[in-house]
Structure 1
Amino acid sequence: MIRYGQQDITQDDIDAVIGVLKSTNLTQGPNIPAFEQAVLAHVGARHAVAVNSATSALHIACLALDLGPGDWLWTTPNTFVASANCALYCGAQVDFVDIDPRTYNLCPQALERKLMEAERVGRLPKIVVPVHFSGQPCDMAAIHTLGLKYNFRIIEDASHAIGGRYKGEPIGNGRYSDITVFSFHPVKIITTAEGGMALTNDDGLATRLGLLRSHGITRDPALMTKGMDGPWYYQQVALGYNYRMTDIQAALGVSQATRLAEYVLRRHEIAARYESLMTDLPLTLPWQHPDSHSAWHLYVVRLQLDRIEATHLEVFDALRARDIMVNLHYIPVHIQPHYQAMGFREGDYPHAEQYYREAISIPMHPALTDAEQDFVVKVLREAIGQ
C-alpha cells in the first residue's frame, strides 16, 4: 500500500521517546521547552507555545486576539474545517474568501473586494486566517497590507508549511502576522504523533497563549492578583483549557526537528520528479509562486476532465484499487452540512468548488521511493487513458 502521506520514524526518534518513558516527566517535562526552542531556531520567531493539536493552537490564537460574539473571522473554503471552526468555538461568526485558482490559497484580490464591501456595510472581520495550502505560502505581504488598512488581525494557518519559506524568509517568523500555527500530525512535515504550536513575536500574546494552553493557571507572581500564600500557591487568572503537549510527544518532536531541512529537500525532489514524469498528461500540476518555497506537504493534481473520458470518481477509485491511497484535500468547508445549516450554499465560492471537482492528492512523503513514484504515475496514466 502506498499512502498519500505518512510519518518517518527513525531509531533516534524511538530512543528519544523511550528516554522520556524511563524518566520521571511524562507530561510537563524539559522536552516541551526544548521542542519550542528547536522550532524557534528554524523559523526565527520570538515565542512558541506547544499544544496538543493545531486545532487547539487555532482556538487559543483566536482567544488571545479577543475574538468573541459579534466578531467575524474570515478564512479560505479550501482547508480543513478547523481553520473555520476555531471561530465558532469563540462564539464568533465565519465567512470565506475564494481561492486563487493557481495556488489554491486565499486570493488577496478577492479578499480586497470583499473587504471593500464589508466596510460599506459595517461588517469587517476581526481576524483573517490565510491557510498555506499544501505547504505553499499565501501572498502574506498583500494580506498584511490589507490588514493594516482594514484593521484586522492575522493568524497564519501554516499547518502544512513548517520548513517552507516566503520571500526568502522562514514561514513562521511572524513578519506578516500576529500568530502562526503549525501542525505535527503524522502526515505533516515533522510529527509529534498529534500536536501543534502557536508562534508569535508579541510578548503579551505569548503570555496569553501560555495561560490558555493550561487552564488559565499561573504560578508567576507577576501575573497574580495578590501575593502568594506559600510555595504551593497558584491562581487561575483566565478561563483556559487542557491543551498541553506531553513530554513524550515533545521528545519525538525534538528528534524529528533535526531532520526538518532534510525532509523538505526530499519533498522538493519528489515534486520535481512528479513534474518531469507527468508534463505530457491531461493534468494541471501544482504551480509555485516565485515568492514561495513550499514545504510540499501535499502534491495535488487536477484532472482536465474535458480531455479525458474517465470521471473524477473513476480515476480516484482506479488508484485506490491498486493500493495507492490517494486522498482529496479538501471538500470546501462551506458545503459541509454544518455550514450549509448556517446559510452557505454551493456556488458561493466557485473557484474552490471547481478545484474540488478536479483535485486528487497523490502520494507525497519522504519515504516514497522512485519505484513507488513510477508506479503511481503508471497507474494514473492508465486511469486517465494515456
Structure 2
Amino acid sequence: MADAAPASYPVFAFEPHASPVLASERDARLVEPGFGQVFTDHMAVVHYSTERGWHEPAIRARAPLSMDPASAVLHYAQEIFEGLKAYRLGDGGVALFRADANARRFRDSARRLAMPELPEELFLESCRSLVRTDADWIPPGPDGALYLRPFAIASEAFLGVKPATEYLYMVIASSVGPYWKKGAAPAISIWVSETYTRAAAGGTGAAKCGGNYAASLAAQAEAIRHGCDQVAFLDAAERRWVEELGGMNIFFVFEDGSLLTPPLTGTILPGITRASLIALARDQGLTVREEPYSFDQWRVDAASGRLREVFACGTAAVVTPIGTVKAAGGEFQIGGGGPGQVTERLRASLVAVQRGAAPDPHGWLERIA
C-alpha cells in the first residue's frame, strides 16, 4: 500500500460548504444509497487557459455550473471523464484504488480529444483532497464506497470546429452501494447487437469520453426491448469479433480454467478493473489470453460445454457474471446460467485487495491521510 501524499504535491485551496448536509440526514441517505444518486457536499475544481495553464485548484461546495450557451462542450463534445473508488478499510482508514492508472488514462483520453493533458499529480491530488474532505460520506457495509467522477469539459464560448482554449476540470463524489439493484438475478442477460457498433479503428473507442456512451444508448434500449440487462458489441469492420459491453469489458472462462478477453486494439476501453483481474488471475496461476474471439465461436463453445463461464467487469459493477446471451438468431446459456467458480474467486480476490483485507503485492492501494 502506497503512503499518503507528501506536502510537495499540489495544494488545493479549501472553501468549506456554508451549509453542509446534517450528519443525521447524511447517515439516512447512506443506508441504501443505490448507485450515482447520492452526492457529497464538496467538489474539486481546476481551471485551464492557454495563457495560464492549469490554475486555481480548489475544493469547494458542490453547486450547479453556470455556463455560456456557446460553451464548446455543448456543441463539439470536447469532454472526457473517469471513474474510480475510495474504500473504507478494516482499520477505519480510507484508500484509493489504482488512481494512478486512472490519471494516466485521463491523459490518454485528453490527447485523443485534442484537450490539454492534466498532470497526473494534479489529478491524483484532486481525488485525495476530495476524499479527505468528504470521507464521512462513505457508506457502511461490505459494498459501500465513494465513487469519484473526475471530468473535463471545454468551457470556452465560441462557435467553430477547433480545440477550445479554456477548460474546466472537476471531481464530484457519490456515495454508492451495489451497482445492481436488490433482488437482481445473480447473473445478467446480454443482447449481442448486430445493428449497432460501439467504435471503429481510428476512432475514440479507447478514450473515456461521453460520446462513446451516448452512442451505446440506442443499443442498450434495443437490449432492454429484448428482455436483456446489457448490450454487447461486435467489431465495426466485420461484425464478427466480440469487443465489449456498453460500459464494461468482458472475459470468457474455459473448461481448462484459462481465460480469454478481447485485445486492446484501439477500439476497446483499457479498463482498469480488466487489467487488475488479468494480474490477479495470473498471480493465481491461471492462463489469460488477450485474443480475438468471434460471436460464432462463443455460441459453439457454449453449446459444447468448452466455455464454462463469462463475466463482465468495470469500476462501477466490479465483476458481473453473464448467464444468458441473446441475439437475432436465438439465445443460449452459459454453463448453468449462474455465477461460476472462477468468476466468484476472482471477484472475491479483487474486492479483498480493494478493501485492504488481502495482501497488496502490486501496490494498488493508496491510503489517504
**Fold conserved between structures, TM > 0.5:** no
Q: Structure 1 length normalisation: TM-score?
A: 0.23
Larger proportion of helix: 1
Structure possessing the higher relative contact order (Cα contacts under 8 Å, 6 or more residues apart): 1
Larger proportion of strand: 2
Q: Structure 2 length normalisation: TM-score?
A: 0.24
